[in-house]
Amino acid sequence: MPAVASVPKELYLSTSLKDLNKKTEVKPEKTSTKSYVQSALKIFKAAEESRLDGDEEKAYILYMKYVAVYNLIRKRPDFKQQQDYFHSILGPTNLKKALDEAEILSDSLKLRYVTQLMAKTLFLIPQAFSCAKCRCSRYLVVSNCT
């Protein structure tokens, strides 16, 4: 089994988990249950690959999309008639794994987003206190500027 990347990729899709969750929405379409199942399997595989590559944002989005598609499948009439069949195709543990991984990624991403925000804020603080005359770095001692 391939190892997970030791260092996660840089954040590039969002600045907060709330914004990232907007990208996880799946709109129901008039398509066959078979198409939904095929899509779910592809999404799950892509989520696993993204997680192994260290792309936490993409993996989180894909795991959450998998859960959303899985829930759409469960609402279909043919799913209710052949639950065992669809569970065997979708994998008996994929839903649990997707939920578990999404929760782990969610915790990691929350921490990374807060850290990123703090780093940006700390970077901006000196700029907010720089001298208005010459932009020198004597943050609070404006009277000494030449």
Could you tell me if residue 7 is inside a domain? no
What span, in angstroms and rounded, lies between the C-alpha atoms of 31 and 49?
26
pLDDT for residue 117: 87
3 domain-assigned? no
Within a domain: residue 75?
Answer: yes
Position 62 in a domain:
yes
Here the CATH number for the domain that contains residue 80 is: 1.20.58.80
Whole-Å CA distances, 134 to 29, 122, 123, 138: 59, 21, 19, 10
Domain count, the chain: 1
What are the E-state strand segments in the chain? none
Please indicate, yes or no, if residue 92 is contained in any of the structural domains.
yes
Give the domain extent around 61: 17-144
Q: Is residue 11 part of a domain?
A: no
CA distances from 118 to 15, 56, 146 (A): 12, 20, 33
pLDDT per position as a tens digit, 31-88:
899 999 999 999 999 999 999 999 999 999 999 999 999 999 999 999 989 999 999 9
